[in-house]
Structure 1
Amino acid sequence: MHAATEHEQAGIWAALADLSDPEIPVVSLSELGILREVRWGVDGTPEVVITPTYSGCPAMGQIEDDVRAALANAGITARVVTQLAPAWTTDWMSGVAREKLRAYGIAPPQCGSTANAGTNVLKFSRQALQRETVPCPQCGSTHTTETSPFGSTACKAMYRCLNCLEPFDYFKPY
C-alpha cells in the first residue's frame, strides 16, 4: 500500500484549489467543504473524496467531472469517490465561503459554526421551529421575510428584504 507524502497530498490539493462550485461560482469546492479528503486507496491510487451538499444535488456530476479534469490537467491519475456519510453540513463551510456568499448576494447560513465542524446535531425545540432572522446580503437589514422555502437551487430558500425590497437567496443551514 502506498503512503501519501505531504508533497503528493499538497500537489493534489493545489490542483483542486481553484475549482468553483458550478451553481455558485464565487465559492470554491474546498471553501464549501465539498472536497473532504485526499487519501490513497488499497491499490495505491490517490482518491479525492467529495461529499454533496445534499444527496440529490444535481451539480455532483459536474463537480466530479471538474475534479477529474483538474487532476488530469495537473498530470495526476486519481479516483473521485463520493462519500455520503457523514452527511455534509453547513458547519463545513469556511468563514471565507460565508463572506463570499454574502458579497455575491446570497445570505449565508445563520446557524452552525466552524467550531463544530464535522458534527451533526439535530435540535428539536419550539425555538428551532420558529423562523430565523436572515439578514439581507444587500443592505444588512434583518427586516426580511421568506417568500418560498425553495430558491434557485434546492439548498437555498427565497427571501425578500422589506427595507430595500430586494429578493435574495438564503443558503439553508443543514
Structure 2
Amino acid sequence: MAVTSTFVGHDHAAIWAALADLADPEIPVISLRELGILRDVRTGADGMPEVVITPTYSGCPAMGQIEDDVRTALVTAGMSARVVTQLAPAWTTDWMDEAAREKLRAYGIAPPQCDSDRRSDGTNVLRFSRQAQPREHVPCPQCGSTRTTETSPFGSTACKAMYRCLDCLEPFDYFKPY
C-alpha cells in the first residue's frame, strides 16, 4: 500500500504486515486479506489508523470474532487502530484472487463461480444484471468432476451450499458467489 501516514509510530504498511496472516475463523486456510474481508488501512479524521473490514454478507456471525482477532493481532504487534465495519460497497466473491480460490479447493470447499469477467490486467468487470444460472456444474474439490448436484442451499455456514459429487460420492461445501 502506498499510503504511509503514521500514528503512534506505526505506518499503514506495518499494520498490513501485522494482519497479513490473520486467518478467517470459519476457513482457517485462507487469510482475511485473501478473502477480501480485510479491506483497507486508512487514517481516520482524528488521525488514528482505521482497519476497515467488510462482512461476506450482512448477517455473518463471524464478524465479531474477526473484529476481536484484528484487535488482538494489533495489540500483539504493539499497535493501536480502530476497527471499522464498512458495508458499502458490499463484499463480493470477485475480490478473492486465484490463490485464495485454490486454497479453498485444496481444503475441500468448491470455490465460487464468479459472475464477473477477469481482464488480462487482473481486474474484474462486474455484471450487475444476473440471469438465473444453474449451479449444478460446480466442480468437485475432491476429484474435479462436474457431475455434481446441490443437496441443500445451506451448508456449514450461510455463505456456503451443500453439494454431492455423483462420481466420487463425496459431499462438499460450495462457497456461494455474491
Question: TM-score surpassing 0.5?
Answer: yes
User: TM-score, normalising length from structure 1?
Assistant: 0.91
* 1:30 aligned residue: 33
State whether residues 91 and 113 of structure 1, in contact with CA within 8 Å, keep that contact through their aligned partners in structure 2: no
Partner in structure 1 of residue 5 of structure 2: 4
Map of 1:44 onto structure 2: 47
The question of whether the paired residues in 2 share the 8 Å contact of 1:89 and 1:120 is answered with no
For residues 117 and 14 of structure 2, the distance between their equivalents in structure 1, rounded to whole angstroms, comes to 29
Q: Which structure 2 residue ranges, 5 or more long, are not aligned?
A: none
Q: Which amino acid aligns with 2:5?
A: A
Aligned to 1:69: 72
Larger % of helix: which? 1
Q: Is the counterpart of residue 105 in structure 1 residue 111 in structure 2?
A: no
2:128 to 122, 126, 147: 122
Q: What pairs up with 1:94-173 in 2 under 5 angstroms?
A: 94-111=97-114, 112=116, 115-117=122-124, 121-125=127-131, 128-173=132-177
2:88 paired residue number: 85
3-state SS in 1 of match to 2:101 = helix
| Structure 2 residue identity aligned to 1:20 | A
CA RMSD of aligned residues (A): 1.6
2:50 aligned counterpart, secondary structure = strand
Superposition deviation, residue 116 in structure 1: 4.5
1: CA distance between counterparts of 2:64 and 2:126? 25
Given that 2:110 and 2:141 are in contact with CA atoms closer than 8 Å, whether structure 1 keeps it comes out as yes
1:116-146 CA-partner distances (Å, limit 9, x unpaired): 54x6533233xx3433510000000000000
- TM (norm. structure 2) is 0.89
